Structure 1
Amino acid sequence: MPIPFFGALFGSTAAMSDKFPVQKTEGEWQAQLSPEQFRILRKKGTEPPGSGTYDKHYPSSGVYTCTGCNAPLYKANHKFDSGCGWPAFWDAVPGAVGQRDDSTFGMKRTEIVCNSCGGHLGHIFKGEGFKNPKDERHCVNSVSINFSPEENK
């Protein structure tokens, strides 16, 4: 049986077929993003747990934006410590994050993507018993986001 994390670490080569407002060719994305950013955002990879810049980052205000297109995705006050090894948010900026079924590696999960460029952010998990208003955990790769202390991004 394949190990789900191992497969997710290296990413999928499945192409994204959805149309998003920000459209670029694979070559344009490769020129803009670092190899690690490209692997995660465009090929649906995963960074190792606990390795990301924003895993233990807890500012009181600000906004996290998409690394690929700079669209605002999450507010700092929606971030919480889930202990999962990746940045966790209980809600997104309204309309900023899309969800789609992901059954890769024999698992049933929900992928989250930037609704502006389609970049892979991570996965959302619901009903885990976290004490937040939605009982949700958006498990996001640090590589997929940037932080700005400015709220009005």
Structure 2
Amino acid sequence: MFKNIVLIFCIILTGCNGNSQEKKQATNTTTAKYTIEKSKEEWKKELTDMQYYVLREAGTERAFTSDLLKEKRKGTYVCAACGTALFKSEHKFDSGTGWPSFDRAIEGNVAYDVDYKIGYKRTEEHCAVCGGHLGHVFEDGPRETTGERHCINGAAMKFVPAK
């Protein structure tokens, strides 16, 4: 009787598949067509090597290397590939992470997707017009505003000062 209980228990235990055992692969669930679509060669002609790496290959620049990290002037941060307005300077804050951070995006200009590239679920951000990879949004931003931290690669943006 005891052997049967142990056997049943072992079968149940080995049959369980917990979340930590799941092997999730990074997938691009975005099937949207973007207003601006160009070939790899066209993008390479228009963007710097770093911009291409970040925007078109979903790369990440090294922390604390972006000139935009310390930008304090009033203005708008636009997509480096297509010029779409993405973030306003009044929503920027110093997160201490080494990347420009904002507590919100300009509504409708940023698209979201999910990726598992580093082993866990993250919300990835793209330019809603050209599909360029911007960075990720996390829920550890300023509590007094949105609670969001849009962690954005500086290479993905250009700054346009207010007039």
TM-score, structure 1 normalization = 0.83
1:103-153 per-position Cα deviation (integer Å, ceiling 9, x unaligned): 112121110000010000000001x252341100000000000001137xx
* Pick aligned residue for 2:103 from 67, 84, 90: 90
- Give ranges in structure 2 of 5+ residues lacking alignment: 1-25
Aligned residues: 136
In the alignment, which residue of structure 2 is the partner of 1:117? 130
In the alignment, which residue of structure 1 is the partner of 2:32? 18
TM-aligned CA distance change 1:129 to 1:65, over 3 Å = closer
Task: Name the structure where helix makes up a greater proportion of residues.
Answer: 2
Give me the whole-angstrom Cα distance separating, in 2, the residues matched to 1:74 and 1:43: 21
In the alignment, which residue of structure 2 is the partner of 1:137? 149
In the alignment, which residue of structure 1 is the partner of 2:42? 28
Give me the whole-angstrom Cα distance separating, in 1, the residues matched to 2:157 and 2:144: 22
Give how far 1:78 is off: 0.5
In the alignment, which residue of structure 1 is the partner of 2:57? 43
Give me the whole-angstrom Cα distance separating, in 1, the residues matched to 2:161 and 2:50: 24
Give how far 1:34 is off: 1.0
Q: Which amino acid aligns with 2:122?
A: R
Secondary structure at the aligned position of 1:104 is classed as: coil
1:24-79 per-position Cα deviation (integer Å, ceiling 9, x unaligned): 111100111111111110000000011111112222x2100000000100000000
Give me the whole-angstrom Cα distance separating, in 2, the residues matched to 1:27 and 1:150: 33
Give me the whole-angstrom Cα distance separating, in 2, the residues matched to 1:70 and 1:105: 29
Give me the whole-angstrom Cα distance separating, in 1, the residues matched to 2:49 and 2:69: 20
Give me the whole-angstrom Cα distance separating, in 2, the residues matched to 1:144 and 1:97: 12
- Give ranges in structure 1 of 5+ residues lacking alignment: 1-11
Aligned-residue sequence identity (percent) comes to 40
In the alignment, which residue of structure 2 is the partner of 1:7? none
Question: Post-superposition, which runs of at least 4 consecutive aligned residues in structure 1 deviate over 4 A?
Answer: none
Larger radius of gyration: 2
TM-score, structure 2 normalization = 0.78
TM-aligned CA distance change 1:30 to 1:57, over 3 Å = same
Give me the whole-angstrom Cα distance separating, in 1, the residues matched to 2:120 and 2:110: 21
